[in-house]
Amino acid sequence: MMKPIPTILRSDELINKSLHKASKIDEPYDKIFENKVRKENIDRIATAESASATYLKRIVRKFPTSEKLHPFYEDFLDLKFGIDNYKLSLNNVQWAGEKIVELATDSIHRLKAARSAYQMVTIRKQFYGRFCSVLEHIDKDLRMLGECRDFLRKLPEIDTESPSFIMAGMPNVGKSSLLNSLTNNNVDVAAYPFTTLNVFIGHMKVKGRNIQVVDTPGLLDRPIEKRNELEKRSILSLKDIRGVILFIMDYSGFSGYTLEEQEELYQEIKRLFHKKIIRVQTKIDISDRKEDVAVSNINKQGIDELRSLIEREINEFTDYGY
């Protein structure tokens, strides 16, 4: 899903790391004492600069820009941190990297012109002072990005570009069972942000393409008006996934929900999502056939046909983009 983002150091850690590296520099003896001091101080500045500026640039590069962040993830990041704060922190880190390069260039320039060893050491110390204050200035940004990183890592690994088939339907109608039937139990589970819910992501290969079957128990299985704001946002985030909805209907009566209740949810999901919806009847082993697509998770009747249907659907993914 996302490129891994490296651990984010705090300001003091980055300062210590960079200055420690710089302090180790020790130039060999030179007949002219000032030459040795000059070279040593230039090298220390250059080392502190590259250790920190390179790192800061790398951070900025590794975090997805909000434009590149898929809306599915952007939505959650926005809920948690505010997308403007995220952008601001990335800008501040970018600024700090550039500022350090600028300070270093200027200090090295002055060092080259300095005459006395004392002057040279003073220039380098001044640089260290400014260097530290630039980094201290972005401490809150680094901390915030560290939290963003941990948060992004925990988000469900839904491949937002590959075609997905998203399960919907009342509880106990056979969604989890169908997920397992379709994917031969090749299913990962991850926590859904801000909720106690899990998302199950099943994987199947169709003509060499990765297809995901996504089940979010507790999200698409009851009417939306009973939801709190976070659940609503979570449900709506599913809109951003390229996919088709598999709406599961159980005519057996064993789910405990009436057909009217199931139809109501179907109508609601149809209203809410502008996605193609395929109705799939389950439990065909214990009920009469009512839908074009009907399967049994017990004796696997209809499963291969449903797989073929999915295969035909994903051809349309490439044609129309969904």
Ligand X SMILES: Nc1nc2c(ncn2[C@@H]2O[C@H](COP(=O)(O)OP(=O)(O)O)[C@@H](O)[C@H]2O)c(=O)[nH]1
102 binds ligand X per the rule CB under 6 A: no
Binding ligand X (rule: CB under 6 A), the pick from 297, 310, 313, 314 is 297
Structural tokens at position 306: 């449903």
Options 36-44, 58-66, 170-178, 310-318: segment touching ligand X (CB under 6 A): 170-178
How open is the CA angle 84-230-197, to the nearest 5 degrees?
120
C-beta separation of 220 from 235 below 8 A: yes
187 binds ligand X per the rule CB under 6 A: no
Whats the size of the chain, residue-wise? 322
The contact pattern for ligand X, residues 220-249, with x = CB under 6 A and - = no contact, is ------------------------------
| Residues with Cβ within 8 Å of residue 26, at least 6 apart in sequence | 40
Dihedral angle sign, alpha carbons of residues 215, 217, 220, 221: positive
Element (H, E) at 99: helix 83-113
C-beta separation of 246 from 167 below 8 A: yes
Binding Mg ion (rule: CB under 5 A), the pick from 83, 194, 217, 287 is 217
Kindly identify the residues of this chain, within the stretch 174-213, that bind Mg ion according to CB under 5 A: 175-176
Q: How many Å apart are CA 1 and CA 155, to the nearest integer?
A: 10
The contact pattern for Mg ion, residues 140-179, with x = CB under 5 A and - = no contact, is -----------------------------------xx---
Number of residues forming the site for Mg ion (CB under 5 A): 3
C-beta of 146 vs 217, nearer to Mg ion: 217
In angstroms, give the least distance from the CB of 232 to ligand X. 21
Coil, strand or helix at 165: strand
- Interface residues with ligand X (CB under 6 A) are 169, 171-177, 282-283, 285-286, 296-298
- Interface residues with Mg ion (CB under 5 A) are 175-176, 217
